[in-house]
Amino acid sequence: MKIIRAENYNDMSRKAANIIAAQVILKPDSVLGLATGGTPLGIYKQLVEWYKKGDVDFSEVTTVNLDEYRGLPKEHNQSYWHFMQVNLFNHINIKANHVYIPNGSDMNIERVCKEYDDIIQSVGGIDLQLLGIGNDGHIGFNEPSTVFETGTHCVNLTESTIEANKRFFQSREEVPKQAYTMGIKAIMQAEKVLMVANGESKADIIKKALFGPVTPEIPASILQIHHDFVLVADKAALSEIDVAI
Ligand code: F6R
pLDDT along the chain (245 residues), means of 10: 97 98 98 97 98 98 97 93 98 98 97 98 98 95 90 92 88 93 97 98 97 97 98 97 71
Q: Which residues pair with 128 in a beta bridge?
A: 32, 192
**What sign for the dihedral angle of Cα 235, 11, 43, 167?**
positive
DSSP H or E run through 190: none
Q: Give the single-character DSSP code of 158.
A: P
What is residue 88's DSSP assignment? T
Instruction: Locate the ligand 1 atom nearest the alpha carbon of residue 36 and give its number.
Output: 7
Residue with the nearest Cα to atom 3 of ligand 1?
Answer: 140
> How far is residue 215 CA from its own chain's centroid?
20
What is the 239 CA–ligand 1 centroid distance (Å)?
A: 20
Query: Burial, 113: exposed, middle or buried (Cβ in 10 Å; 0-12, 13-18, 19+)?
Result: buried
Residues with active-site annotation: 67, 136, 138, 143
Residues 6+ apart with CB under 8 A from 74: 81, 82, 104, 105
Query: Rounded to the nearest whole angstrom, what is the distance from the C-alpha of residue 138 to the centroid of ligand 1?
Result: 8
| pLDDT attached to residue 243 | 66
The reply to whether ligand 1 has any atom less than 6 angstroms from the CB of 33 is no
CB atoms within 10 A of CB 236: 19
Q: Please report, in angstroms and rounded to a whole number, the separation of the first and last CA atoms in the chain.
A: 11
The domains found in the chain, sorted by start residue, are 2-234 (3.40.50.1360)
pLDDT at 244: 62
What is the CA(29)–ligand 1 centre distance, in A? 25
Q: What pLDDT was estimated at residue 245?
A: 64
Residues near 242 by beta carbon (within 8 Å), at least 6 away in sequence = none
Cβ–ligand 1 distance for 237 under 6 Å, the answer: no
